Every structure is written in structure tokens, then in C-alpha cells.
Structure 1
Amino acid sequence: MEKMKLKLLYADLQSDIRVIEKELETALDSSSHYLKDASLHLLKAGGKRIRPVFVLLGAKFGQYNIDDMKNVAVPLELIHMASLVHDDVIDDAELRRGRPTVKSQWNNRVAMYAGDFIFARALEYMTNIQNEKAHQILSKTMVEIVQGEIIQIEDKMHLNQSIRDYFRRIKRKTALLISSSCQLGAVAAGADDSVAHHLKKFGYYVGMSFQIIDDVLDLTATDKQLGKPAGSDLLQGNITLPVLLAKNDSAIRPYIEKALSGDMKEDERQVFLKKMRSSNAINEAYHISNLYLQKALKEIEELPANSVKKSLKDIALYMGKRKF
């Protein structure tokens, strides 16, 4: 239902999104049935396609051409997909979007090579982009994302990390790719530099808000809504903002430590979730997310008059207010 609501916000782009979906299937074709099946497994699991949508909306501020824009949107979505496959190996995750992960369906080795294959396909598609600045932005984005994966490994299980450490991690994990999507659409379409700059900042703020909400929902949504056990982030050793905000609460801290030790039983998970959902940490996290969202909305105001400004605002509000 939530995904359908989002699609309604960019209904006029649906035909172009279908072009990108078809191109993604073509990109993931391989003579190796392992690589092909594993890559398509993730693609068929669905996704909001937020990044391609932002590419297309950003391009509306310049010379819009779907044949050119697909060469930007496809590699960005492939980079996102590759990072998900690798993340599931790092987190030892069994489910994503309610379906077995690539590492679960096959094994870690196939998952890592599938992720590498998807990254490589992204590089291949980038060669179709006839814009040096776009190449520079894309390559820098890829470097930052890989560094972010390492940072995520370094921060796992570390309860003494700061909120600044968390922000640094989610910037590379989520915000950077959304920011680059918004910026690259404008750059590749030849929009003014000031437009690309404001879209870049808009995407960064939206991405930060989006990831914070995602981390809150991991604790407040149901197992069914999430397609995986609620609280999975903590059980996998990932310390999110709500947990950081609640870690000094004497009624919650023992459950956090038990989860990180790998000794949490099902009844304890339920108690932990109940305590977290009634704690101030959830409201504080929502407040911080909303601060980022308001900054994103201010960036939209700086953009020149264009009918897509409403779409940018509506999607930003959806991302920052969604329930699961």
C-alpha cells in the first residue's frame, strides 16, 4: 500500500520508469546462471526506485531526454542494489523485503560476486554518459559508498559510538546516493550549476531523514510490515539513532546489551520492542529526522519555477513521514 502511494506521487513518470526497469533487467543479464539468477532475484523483490525517480525529476530542470537519463538512472540503481547484496552478507541477513536475501538463497560467495557483478555493470553503463562532470560525481560516489560499507563494519557492536559517528555512517550508506541522484539528473540534462547544487543538498537532507525514519521503523513497525523481525538492526549489531538515544536508559540498556551479545530470546525481543516504542528515544529520532526534512524543503524553495517542484516536495514528505 505504501509503495502504491509513492507511485501515485510520480505517476507522470511511470512510462519512463518502465524504460528503466527494462534496462535494469538487460543490465543484469549474464551467461552465468548464478550471476543472472542471483542479480534478478534482488531486482524482482521490488523496490521504490527512489533514486531513478530523483534522477528524472532533477533532469526536468534541463534538457530532458529519457534515452540519456536512463544511462544515469540505471547505474545509480545498480550501485544501490550492489550495496544491498553486500550489506546482507555483512549483516548475515536472511530476509530483505520479506524474501530470502541473495546470501541466504545461495551463499556468501555467490552474493559477494553477484554484488561485484552488479557494480561492474554500473561501471559499464556509465560509459554511455557523455559528461565528464557526471563521471566524476558517479566515481566519487562509488568510492564513498564502499568506504561507508567498511565504516559500517567498524561500527558494528560498538555501543559507545557517538551520534556523529551514526550520521557519518548513514551519510555514506543512504544520503550520498540519493544526493548524487538528484544532482546527476540536473548535471546530465545540462541544468544550471546552482540548480544542481540545490538538488544535491536537497537529496542529502532527504536521504538523512529517510534513513533515520528507516531505523525508527525497524523498531516500531511489525515483523510483517518489515518483512523481517523488528529490531533486526540491533540484532545484527548495527547501532541506530533510536538505540543511541536510549542506551543510557536503565530499563532498556540491559536488553540492548543482550541483543548485541546474541543471547536475546524471543520474549525478551518483544519486551525490548515494547520499551523502545514507549521511550522518548523514538520521538527524539522523529524530531531529528524532521529537522533534516525541513532543510530539504527549504532547498526546494531555492529552485527555479518548475512543475516538478511539487513532486519533489510530495516525495520528500512521503519519505519523511512514512509508516513503514
Structure 2
Amino acid sequence: MEKMKLKLLYTDLKSDIDIIEKELENALNSSSHLINDASLHLLQAGGKRIRPVFVLISAKFGNYDIDNIKNIAVPLELIHMASLVHDDVIDDSDLRRGRRTVKAQWNNRVAMYTGDFIFARALEYVTAIENKRVHQILAKTMVEICNGEVIQIEDKFRVDQNLKDYFRRIKRKTALLIESSCELGAVASGLDEKNIRHLRRYGYFVGMSYQIVDDILDFTASDKELGKPAGSDLLHGNITLPIFYLKDHPIIKQFIEKASTGKVVEEDRLAMLKVVRNSEAIKQSIALSNQYLRKALKEVEALPNHQMKKKLRDIALFIGKRKF
């Protein structure tokens, strides 16, 4: 339902999004039946396609040409998809969006090679782009995302980390790719440096808010809404924003200790969720997400008058207020 509401905000882009969707399907075609099946399994799980949408909207501020822009939107979504496959291996996740993950449907080795294949397809797609700056931004983005995946492994169950560690992690996990989507759409459409900067900063702030909301919903939404058990992040050792405010709570400390040794039972999970949901940590996390949203909206105001400004505002507000 939430995904449908989001898509209503950019129905006027549907024909171009359909082109992106078809290109993604073509890009994931492989001579290996196994990789082909695994890649399409992920694609068919759906998604908000928010990164390609940000590419398209940002490009609308300049010289818009879908035949050119699709060569940026597609690899960005492929990079995102590849990172999801790898994340599910790292987190040992069996479900994503209510559907079995690639690693659960097949195994870890198939998942890792599938993720690598999707990354490689992204690189192959980029060869159609002549703009050297686009290549530089994409390459830097991919390097930082890979660094982020390793940092996420290093930070698992590490209770002595601070908020700076958390912000660094979610920037690489989520905000960076949304930031790059806005920046690359602007660069590819020939926008001036001032407006490229505004769109890049908008993407960063929206991306940070997006991930914070995700981290909140992991505790507040139901198992059914999430398509996985609520509290999965902490179960897998990922210390997210609400937990930073509760690290000294005895039940949370005990849960982290048990989770690190794989001894959590359902009673522990429910007790942990009750503590988080009834705490001030949720309100504090929402307040921080809203700070990023306000910064994002400020960047939108600085952009030239264009019908896409309202779309950027509406999407940002939706992201900040979504329920799951």
C-alpha cells in the first residue's frame, strides 16, 4: 500500500519508469540459467525504484532525454540491487519484502556471485555513457558502498560505537546512492554547478532521513508489514539509531548479548520490541529524521522554478512520514 502511494507521486513519469524496468530486465539476462533465475527473482520482488526516479526528476531540471538518462538510472538501480543481495548474505536474512532472499532460495555462494554479476552488469551499462564525470561519480559511489558493506560487518554487535559511526554507516548504506542519483541526473542533463550541488545535497539529506525512518520502522512496524520479523536489524547485530538511545537499558543489553551468541528466543524478541516501542527513543529518532528532511526541503527551495520542485518536496515528505 505504501509503495503504491509513493508511485502515485510520480505517475506522470510512468512511461519512462516502464522503460527503466524493461532495461533492468534485459540487463539481468544471463547465459547462466542459475544466475538468470536468481537475478530475476530479486527483480520480481519489486521495489520502489526510488533511485531511478530521483535520476529522472533531477534530469528534468535540465535537457531531458530518456535515451541518455536511462543509461544512468539503470546502473544505479543495479548497484542498489547488488548491494541488497550481498547485505542478505552478511545479515543471514531469509526474507526481504516478504519474499525469500536469493541466499535463502539458493545459497550464499549463488547469492554472492549473483550480486557480483549484477554489479558487473552495472559497469557494462555505464560504458554507453560518454561523460567522464559520470564515470568518476559512479566509480566513487561503488567504492564507498563496498567500503560500507565491510564497515557494517565490522560494526556488528559493537556496543561501543557512537552516533558518528552510525551516520557514517547509513551514509554509505543508503544516502550515498540517493545523493548520486540526484547528482548524476543533474550532471547528465547539463545543469549548472550551483543546481547540481543543491540536488546532490537534497539527495544526501533525503537519503539520511530515509534510512533513519527505515531503522525506526524495523521496530515499530509489524512482521507482516515489514515482510520479515520486526527487530531484525538488532537481531543481526546492526546497532541502529533507536538503540543508540537505549544501549544502557538492561533488556536491550541482554538482548544484544544473546543475539551475538545466537541464543535469542521469541520471548526475548517480543520483550525487546516492547521496550523500544514504549520508549522515547522512537520520538528522538523521528526528530532527527525530520531535521534531515528540513535540510532537504531547504535545498529544494533554492532550485529554479520548475514543476519538479513540488515532486521533490512531496517525495521527501512521504519518505519522512511513511508507516512501513
Query: Which stretch shows the higher mean deviation, 287-296 or 254-263?
Result: 254-263
User: Whole-Å Cα distance in 1 between the matches of residues 186 and 255 of structure 2?
Assistant: 46
Mind listing any 5+ residue stretches in structure 2 that lack a counterpart?
A: none
- Asked if structure 1 preserves the Cα contact closer than 8 Å seen for 2:237 and 2:256, the reply is no
* Structure-1 separation of matches of 2:258 and 2:277: 18
1:202/1:299 contact within 8 Å kept: yes
Residue 33 of structure 2 corresponds to residue 2 of structure 1:
no
1:280-309 Cα offsets, whole Å, 9 max, x none, are 111111111111111001000111111100
Alpha-carbon distance between aligned partners in 2 of 1:268 and 1:37, rounded to the nearest angstrom: 37
Tell me the residue number matched to 2:262.
Answer: 262
Note the alpha carbon deviations across 1:6-52, whole angstroms, 9 max, x for none.
01100100110000000000000011001111011000000000000
User: Is the CA contact 2:157–2:256 (under 8 Å) kept in the aligned structure 1?
Assistant: no
Distance in 2 (CA, whole Å) between partners of 1:274 and 1:119 is 39
Q: In the alignment, what sits opposite 1:20?
A: 20
Deviations 1:213-267 (A, max 9, x none): 0011000100000000000001111111111111122353323333333222112
- The yes-or-no answer on 1:46 pairing with 2:35 is no
Q: How does 1:67-82 map to 2 (within 5 A)?
A: 67-82=67-82
Compare 242-251 and 87-96 and name the one that shifted more.
242-251
Q: Secondary structure at the match of 1:246?
A: coil
1:232 corresponding residue in structure 2: 232
CA-atom RMSD in angstroms: 0.9
TM, length-normalised to structure 1: 0.98
* Counterpart in the other structure of 2:149: 149
One-letter amino acid of the counterpart of residue 176, structure 2: L
| Correspondence for 2:195 | 195
1:317 maps to 317
CA contact (8 A) 1:221 1:323 kept: yes
1:30-45, aligned counterparts within 5 Å? 30-45=30-45
Equivalent residue number for residue 223 of structure 1: 223
| Identical columns (%) | 69
Give SS of 1:6's match: helix
Aligned pairs (5 A) from 1:1-324: 1-324=1-324
Gaps of 5+ in 1: none
Equivalents in 2 of 1:252, 1:102: separation in Å? Answer: 30
- Tell me the CA shift for residue 129 of structure 1: 1.0
Q: How many residues align?
A: 324
Relative to the length of structure 2, the TM-score reads: 0.98
Give the Cα–Cα distance (whole angstroms) in 2 for the partners of residues 316 and 323 of structure 1: 14
Shift of 1:160: 1.1
Q: Distance in 1 between matches of 2:227 and 2:165?
A: 28
